[in-house]
Amino acid sequence: MPAYKFKNEEELISIAKNNPRIFGELYDTYYPRIFGYIFRITGDHALACDITAETFLKAWLKIGSFQWKGVSISSWFFKIATNELNQYFRKKKYSPQVLRDLSYFDEEKQKIASCYDSENTEVTAKMDKADEFIQLRRKLNTLPPRYQTVLALRYFEELSIAEISHILVKKENTVRSLLSRGLEKLKILFP
C-alpha cells in the first residue's frame, strides 16, 4: 500500500470513510498502542491479538459512522477495545463475534499478523523483562475490571483524565474517583 500524506488526522479519517485502503494508515498508526493496552490488561498474547483484531475490525466496519469532534481517533479505538475487554471480563472467556463471522479474512489476517510479528515480539519482550510489571499486572488483575481499565489507561497508556472520561463515557470526577480508589486498593496489595 502506498504511503499517503495527509495534513491532519481529521482529513485522513474523512478519506478513510470512503476508501477502506486508507483505513490501513490508521491501523498502522494505532495498532501498537491498542495491542499494548489490551496485552497489559490481559497478560495473554493470543487473547490480546484476538481482542485487538476484533477492535480494529469493528472500527473498520463502523468508520463511516465516526464523527470528528476534535479528539484523536485513538480515543475511539480505546473505547472499542475497552468494550471488548469488558465483554471478556463479563464472560471470562473471549469469543470474537465479528471476526468469527468473517472467516474469509483468514488469509489477510495471516498477512497482517506476519507484518506485526516484530512489533508483537518487541512488546512481549519488553514486558517479559520487567519483573516489576509482571508482579504489578498480577496484582492489578485481582482488582475489579473498572479499576483495571482506568489504571491501565492512565498509567500504562498515559492518557489524560479528559481522554479517559471520553473513552469510558464517564464524568471526569468519576474517573478521578475510580483512579483514587483503584490506587488505594492496589496499595493494600503491596506489603
Quick check: helix, strand or coil at residue 102? coil
Is 133 a residue whose pLDDT tops 80? no
Q: Is the pTM of this model over 0.75?
A: no
Please compute Rg for the chain using Cα positions. Answer: 17
* Mean pLDDT, range 93-103, rounded to an integer: 50
Look up residue 27 and give its amino acid: Y
Q: How many residues does the chain have?
A: 191
Nearest Cα neighbor of 112 from 8, 189, 18, 1 is: 1
> In the chain, which residues fall in CATH 1.10.10.10?
131-191
Give the pLDDT score at 103: 47
Segment 20-48, tens digit of pLDDT: 778 888 888 899 999 999 998 888 888 99
One of 3.40.50.1220, 1.10.10.60, 1.10.1740.10, 3.40.640.10 is the CATH number of 1-129, namely 1.10.1740.10
* Mean pLDDT, range 98-109, rounded to an integer: 48
Instruction: Return the CATH fold of 131-191.
Output: Arc Repressor Mutant, subunit A (1.10.10)
Neighbours of 80 (CB within 10 A): 20
> In the chain, which residues fall in CATH 1.10.1740.10?
1-129
With beta carbons less than 8 A apart as the criterion, state whether 143 and 184 touch.
Answer: no
